Structure 1
Amino acid sequence: MKIKRLERMRESQRAYHRCCRWVMKDGLFMPHSYEETSPGALSWWDDVGFILGERRVIVWWKHPRMSYKDEIQDRAWSEAGEPPQEGELFSDSTPNYKQIGRSRKRITSYTTSPPQEELRQYYDNLDAVTKNLQRDGIDFDVHASWRRERLSWATGVALVAPLEVRNEKELKAVADLARCLLRGETSLDREFPDYCYGRNHWLTDYSDIEKA
C-alpha cells in the first residue's frame, strides 16, 4: 500500500531535479575542490550528491574524528559556562542614524566599543579549556552510523564513517557507500565491523595535527 505523503514527496523530489539541474562530474555533484588538499591530510567532513531513481541524494559525511572534535567543543562550552549576556555586550554601543526627512531619522547601525574585559576573559578561558580537552582527550566513543532524511527536494543521508576524503576518487567512495546503504546492499557493520573511534584514536590524530 502506497503512502500518499511519501508519494507526494517523491514526486516533489523528481520535479525539483528536472527543473534545477546539478552541475555534475562523472555522475557526482562535488561542491568542494581538493586542489590545495595534501595527500596525507586528515579528513573531517564533506558533501557529495548523486542521482538515484531520478531523485537527488545529498550525503553529509563526517569522519568520526569530526564527531569527536564536536563533542570536545560542546564540553568546553559546558565547562566554560554561560557567556556574558547579550545586553551587557552591547550596552556601550552608539547608534548611527540616517536622515529620512526634515525632522525624521532612523537607526541604521551601531558602533560598539572594544570588547569588554569580561568578554575577553571568557573567550580566553573557553580557548584554554578547549585546548586542554583536545590535548588530553575525553571519554567518548564514536561508531559508524547513518541516517536517512526525506527532504522536499532530495533524500538526505547523514553518514559517519572512517573514510579519508582528500580527492575526487576518495569522495566517490563515500557516494558509493551511501548508494549501497540506501539500496540495502551493505551495512556499516559489514563495512566497518566492531569499529569505534575513541580517545587513543584522537590522541594519535591530534599529535599529527600539532606537527602539521
Structure 2
Amino acid sequence: MREYHRMQQWRLSDGGLFIPHAYWNMGPESLSYWDDVGFILNGRRIIVWWHHPRHIYGEAISSMAWDEAGDGPRDDWLFEGGTKGYKMVGKSSKRKKLSSFTSRAPSEAQTQHYAKLQKIEERLTRDGIDLEVRPSWKWERLSWAMGVSLVAPFEVRNEKELAEVAHLARELILQKTTLTQEFPDFVYDKASWLRERAVLAPAHHTAPEVKA
C-alpha cells in the first residue's frame, strides 16, 4: 500500500486532501447525498466513501420499489437486437470497423414494467417508508488504500464542508471520537424524509460533479 502511494501520487489540495469532485452546481440550500474524499495518514492513503443518511433512505426506497414491482419480462433490449454502425478505414473501401452501437427500443411489456416501477417509486418517495438510518462507519483494507464507508449527517456542498468529513474520518480511525459522541441520538427516519420533501424543491437535490 505504501509502495503504491509512493509510485502513484495523489494530486492533493492545499489542505492535504484528495478531492475528486467539483461543486459548481451546489448552492447553500442544496441537499447533498454522497461524496468521496482522500487523505494521507501515516504514509497510507485513506479513501472515504461518505453518504448522508438520506441517501441510504432513498436507496432503500428504490430497492423496495424493485421488490414490489417484481420481475419484469426478460427483454435484454440494451444489447440484443441493436444496430451496429461501421466506418471505413484505410485506403481500401473494403475495410471497416465497428464505430457505434444503437440499442433498439424496449418491448411494450418492458416499457409497461418500467412505468409500473416508476409509479411505485414515486408513491414510496411521496409517502416515505418505515426505516431508520443512524450514523455508522466501517473500514476495509484495499490493495492501494484503506477504505472508509461513512454514513453521517453532513451537508457537503463545497470543499470546506468536505474537509469536515475527512476530519471526522481521521478522528474515528485514530479513536479520538465516536459517532455517538458526534451525533448523539441522531436518526434519519420517515418524518425526516417527508419534512425535506415538503420544504425543498427537486432542484435542490443535487450531487457533486467529477472534476475535469
TM-score (normalised: structure 2): 0.84
2:186 aligned to which of 189, 195, 207: 195
Name the CA shift for 1:211/1:156 in 2 (closer, same or farther; >3 Å). Answer: closer
Residues 89 and 116, structure 1, Cα contact 8 Å, conserved in 2: no
Matches within 5 A, 1:21-60: 21-25=9-13, 26-60=15-49
Relative distance call for 1:96 and 1:197 in structure 2 (3 A) is same
Residue pair 2:77, 2:106 contacting (<8 A) in 1 also: no
TM-score, normalised to structure 1's length? Answer: 0.84
Letter in 2 for 1:24: L
Percent identity over the alignment?
50
SS of match in other structure, 1:126: helix
Gaps of 5+ in 2: 88-96, 204-212
- Answering whether residue 143 of structure 2 is matched by residue 155 of structure 1, we say no
More displaced stretch, 136-145 vs 79-88: 79-88
The more displaced of 81-90 and 21-30 is 81-90
Alpha-carbon distance, 1:86 to partner: 3.7
Q: How far apart, in 2, do the equivalents of 1:114 and 1:68 lie?
A: 32
Whose Rg is larger?
1
Moved over 3 A (4+): 86-98, 106-113, 208-212
Relative contact order: is structure 1 or structure 2 higher (C-alpha 8 Å, sep ≥ 6)?
A: 2
Q: Does 1:122 align with 2:113?
A: yes
Q: How many residues align?
A: 199
State the distance in 2 between where 1:29 and 1:19 align.
16
> What CA distance in whole angstroms lies between the structure 2 residues aligned with 1:59 and 1:87?
35
In 2, Cα distance between equivalents of 1:66 and 1:111? 33
The alpha carbon displacement at 1:115 in A equals 2.0
Inter-partner Cα distance in structure 1 for 2:103 and 2:24: 40
Are 2:62 and 1:73 aligned? yes
Larger fraction in helix: 1
**Secondary structure of the corresponding residue to residue 39 of structure 2:** strand
Would the aligned equivalents of 2:50 and 2:149 in 1 still touch at CA under 8 Å? Answer: yes
Displacement, 1:195?
A: 1.0
The answer to whether the Cα contact below 8 Å between 2:75 and 2:107 also exists between their aligned partners in 1 is no
**Using the alignment, how far apart are the partners of 1:146 and 1:16 within structure 2?**
25
Could you tell me which residue of structure 1 aligns to residue 128 of structure 2? 137
Report Cα offsets for 1:54-106 as digits up to 9, x if no partner: 000000000000000000000000001112114588775567899xxxxxxx9
